[in-house]
Amino acid sequence: MHLVDLEAEPDYDVLDEISRNPANNQYLLYTRRNSRVSQTLIINNANSIRNSNFNANVPTVVIVHGWLSNQYTSINPTIRNAYLGKSDVNVIIMDWRRLALRDYVTAVNGVPAVGRGLGQFLQFLNQVTGAPFTSMHLVGFSLGAHVVGNAGRQLGGRAARVTGLDPAGPLWNVNSNRLRASDGVYVEAIHTDGGAAGLGIGSRVADVDFFPNGGRSQPGCATSLCNHNRAWEFFASTVTRNHLEGRQCTSMTQVTYNTCRGSTLRMGNDDLNKRGSGIYRVDTARRYPF
């Protein structure tokens, strides 16, 4: 855990370079032909894409890590392996460590530019290969959830799915650059640490917002960070099993007291044509596969 000064001055020199140069972000491709060793895709370098294993005829999943993380952080191989173990897809891991390893306030301020850069990369990918936006699923954790929101906005909301895994809360509750329902054809958020002092946003931001176990603390967790990380752990498990079913709620009071009696919807999964709206509570087990 880290103490964070939410009123600190951001590093404007870094922010200026990030906004001018989206090539600061790395795009690492994994497919069933190279499931462990990545191929680097480079924006505005068509040969880097043409000479890779990228297949425009199968879905593309983009994974975006959060603060103080990089391509090797556990979220990336976990979700990558879940997808490649399930079906033939392109998995692109975006490494934006250049900004993500800075202080939190600087990272927050740079998220919109990083997201726009990702959107521009996906536009380039579409131009080079013809891969349609309707076959793209953008998945982001914590600050990465707001990155994929901004990427979806750059694409005009045309990405098939945008998923925010416990979207970061500090400095985002009234931030107009945060993840929102218009960022994709279908936008989903999974809230696992949304308490008053939580690391995630505890309120609705998407078409469908899931609140596992009430959305504030998770079974088997003793820390806020554990609660926060449960979002991507839940998601990876649902890609493989599609087994966590939510019940629609009419209010956050119902979410808190587990009195939701509405229709059901599966949380997470890899369905590109998924649709829904509203808030849902999901009850899970303490440990994998939950």
CA distance 94 to 110: 15
**E strand spans, the chain:** 26-31, 34-41, 60-64, 90-95, 136-141, 161-165, 186-190, 208-212, 245-249, 264-266, 278-282
- Which of 95, 166, 183, 209 is catalytic? The answer is 166
Active site (annotated) includes residue 166:
yes
Helix (H) or strand (E) holding 144: helix 143-154
- Which of 137, 228, 237, 270 is catalytic? The answer is 228
Classify residue 195 as exposed, middle or buried by CB count within 10 Å of its CB (0-12, 13-18, 19+).
middle
CA distances from 218 to 136, 153, 164, 227, 252 (A): 30, 31, 17, 5, 17
Tokens of 142: 């914590």
| H helices present in 51-142, as ranges | 75-86, 97-100, 104-129
- Which of 38, 69, 135, 142 is catalytic? The answer is 142
Active site (annotated) includes residue 228:
yes
Q: Minimal CA–CA distance to 138: which of 211, 235, 14? A: 235
CA distance 14 to 290: 40
Active site (annotated) includes residue 243:
no
Geometric angle at alpha carbon 8, from 6 and 100, rounded to 5°: 75
Question: Any idea which residues carry the catalytic annotation?
Answer: 142, 166, 228
